[in-house]
Amino acid sequence: MKNEKLRPFRPQPSLDRLGPAGRLLITAAAAFVMTMTALMATPIAALAQLPGTENGEWRYLGGDAGHTRSSTLDQINAGNFEDLEVDWIWKSDNFGPNLDYFSRSTPIYADGLLYTVATPRRQVIAIDPDTGETIWAFREPETVRFLRSPRRSYGKGVAYAEVNGRGVIYITTPGFFLWALDAKTGRPLEDWGSPIPLDGFDQTGGVDLVPQLLDGWGQWERWDEGPYDPNYGVPRELGMVTSSAPPIVVNGVVVVLVGHQPSYGQTRIENIPGDIMGYDAATGEFLWKFHVIPRPGEFGHETWLNDAWEWSGDMSSWAPASADPELGLVYIVTNASTVQSYTGHRPGDNLFGGSLLALDVQTGERVWHYQIHRSDQWNYDLPTAPILMDLTVDGVDIPAVIQNTKQGLVFAFNRATGEPIWPIEDREVMQTQVPGNYTSPRQPYPTRPEPVDRIVIDGLTDEFVIDYTPELFAEAKIILSQYNIGGLYVPSLPYEHENNFLNNLGCQGGGNIIYHPPVADPTTGMFFASHQRSCSAPGFMEPTGGVDRDNPNYAVPAANGATPNYTPTTGTTVAAWAPGRFGGLPTIDGLRLWKPMENQLTAYQMNTGDKSWSLPVGQTSERIQTHERLQGVDIPNSGGAGWSIQMVMGDLLVQARALSWGTTQVRPDAPLELHARDKYTGEILGSIPLPAPAQYGMMTYMHEGKQYVVVQIGSVQTEFPGALVAYTLP
């Protein structure tokens, strides 16, 4: 509901009686008060913003190089937000099927054009920012490695840079090729990269990234089943590789990120490591490669026991990167290595898995790192880009990097040195009981800021148990007495165990925030994160017997159009244990054992590390409100369906609910609206309708004196399975 009390100051009709001089005096006084209020709320030293949004542009996926998803544009403000009208809608389904997934690509705006990617083919599209018309499109020819790509539908966008006075678009494709395209024409750059020996491929403007990734890797060095085939890429028996996030261009270097088949869907213990590579932006020349799994003599090699560094792989960089061009550093986050449910084949803390990396962009050398979780077996990969902004903490100016996690923890570091801004404690965590498995004995917990949801500290304690009625609380406590309650790092048990409890139970407070990335405001030091609460008893582990469990969706297509080969040829060795029978938790007549927090939006003042506000987004589901055991009970609002997505724009936090994904039904309790919120309180100041549910992200830009707000929308239940909608003032 809109809060009229928080609408901006507007002269009332009674002021007309004061005359021009009186109105001018009151207006000046009001402006002075508003300016002083803003200055008191905003530390002077924290006003800097990294490059990318100057002159009304949005040159990076996250707006600026610090991935804050923030712009200082204020032509659209609280006073006129509800006057916004749909200016144009661009539909991505015109370029091919979406496979029920809308692209996560947030457009960029640079030098007068919008750029995005569309459909699982990740075609690059240039769009007229004034009319929404398509200017040009680039589509890579089809290869077997494209068909094998496990993440075709999840391209998050493109990178842009000016090279020798020329705008260039860079894209990493699902087949793991890097392209450099002329920003005005979409044509591959001449005299760039190296020829790709495949039919239909331009022989300039591209780079096959796989050979350089394979170079020096022991499994490939020992491969004797034939020469490298650029149509297939990485041999299926050795692994697979793709990309999810776009590259990032920093100081003339294109930094390429890597993706794989998700580790939670694997039982094979081998895969190719997702080493991070740098290329010359002007020529496409290979510059460097950073080994995410350290080799002998390299920092962190000792964290890989059992010689696992030789064959263990994966270690993707799924999330986008951010950068500080002045420091010459690029910031990248990683996931775990192969098999995230069992790590007995790779004991040790496994650097650089689950880590925030700061690399020298010219050399690829590690400047600093922090391992946010060790030896991951919970699918706790770091899903969002590091956020960079300058802070003033206890009177000291700090160039900061902030990392949000699936667990619901918020880490903050000096981005130049890697020193934590506030202390981080190593705490003992629950240990595995699966024979041969490994769990790190301790995991890091920030002491400040506090988690987005305090349930992640101690788990499902009485504070969080459902207590809407005394009867529900008593029944929940009886059920919970049968579980071993832990915090974030709760390992799976073997199916046949001899404990006096049914299963372990843990909770997290962030959720899969890859769908709803956090944002920040560099001008105030505020940080905004959407999250939800979940608790679970993990699935039980069972021996694999050495038999691989392959996903046929990623099988090798057979030759000559024959039926695809679904034979699991995914490696020579298999993890000893894999998830078997699901654990799960019972409910009480359909009610969960914990008080729900379905869709919550929380703001921090990062100059102090304090929470500024936290509120539910949407309304508690009708299923709970009308539940027969809750009739007449005053239930706190737990938020509605979907998740919250947002960006900072001037003095506003522009926000919407992403209400569906794929074939999920649009909920009747979830109106399709875009909101303008007060970023200091979270209160809604204005709303406008959306033509379809929002998805993943939004951006804003200024074109020929007019500000636009572009929102990603999409649902297969509407006429817009995937689209961009642009709003402007009339």
- Asked if residue 565 has pLDDT above 60, the reply is no
How does residue 103 score in pLDDT terms, banded at 50, 70 and 90? low
Of residues 5 and 81, which shows the higher confidence score?
81
pLDDT value at position 138?
96
pLDDT tens per residue across span 290-337: 999 999 999 999 999 999 998 888 889 989 999 999 999 999 999 988
Mean pLDDT of 380-384: 90
pLDDT value at position 569?
45
Which stretches does DSSP call E strand in 281-416?
A: 286-290, 322-324, 329-333, 355-360, 366-371, 387-393, 396-404, 410-414
Mean pLDDT of 608-620: 95
Mean pLDDT of 43-65: 83
CA distances (Å), origin 375, targets 311, 351, 650: 16, 8, 41
pLDDT value at position 551?
53
pLDDT value at position 546?
84
- Asked if residue 44 has pLDDT above 70, the reply is no
- Asked if residue 377 has pLDDT above 70, the reply is yes
pLDDT value at position 570?
52
How does residue 102 score in pLDDT terms, banded at 50, 70 and 90? low
pLDDT value at position 497?
94
Average pLDDT, rounded, for the chain: 87
pLDDT value at position 7?
28
The CA distance from 382 to 385, in Å, is: 8
Mean pLDDT of 139-155: 84
Write the CB contacts of 662 (distance below 8 Å, at least 6 apart in sequence). Answer: 100, 101, 716
Q: Considering the chain, what percentage of its residues have pLDDT values greater than 90? A: 70
Q: Give the closest residue to 603 by CA, choosing from 615, 589, 620.
A: 615
- Asked if residue 562 has pLDDT above 60, the reply is no
Which CATH number is 54-556+576-728's, of 3.40.50.300, 2.140.10.10, 2.50.20.10, 1.10.220.10? 2.140.10.10
CB atoms within 10 A of CB 480: 18
- Asked if residue 32 has pLDDT above 60, the reply is no
Mean pLDDT of 548-552: 60
CB atoms within 10 A of CB 10: 8
121 neighbors 713 (Cβ within 8 angstroms): no
- Asked if residue 129 has pLDDT above 80, the reply is yes
Q: Which helix (H) or strand (E) holds 587?
A: none
- Asked if residue 264 has pLDDT above 90, the reply is no
Phi, psi for residue 32 in degrees, rounded to 5: -65, -45
Q: What angle do CA 482, 487, 492 make, to 5 degrees?
A: 65
- Asked if residue 145 has pLDDT above 70, the reply is yes
pLDDT value at position 97?
67
pLDDT tens per residue across span 657-688: 987 544 344 555 567 899 999 999 999 999 99
Query: Would you list the domain boundaries of the chain?
Result: 54-556+576-728
Mean pLDDT of 640-658: 94
Q: Which helix (H) or strand (E) holds 31?
A: helix 19-41
Of residues 665 and 221, which shows the higher confidence score?
221
3-state secondary structure of 24: helix
Q: For 455, which DSSP code?
A: H
Q: Considering the chain, what percentage of its residues have pLDDT values greater than 70? A: 87
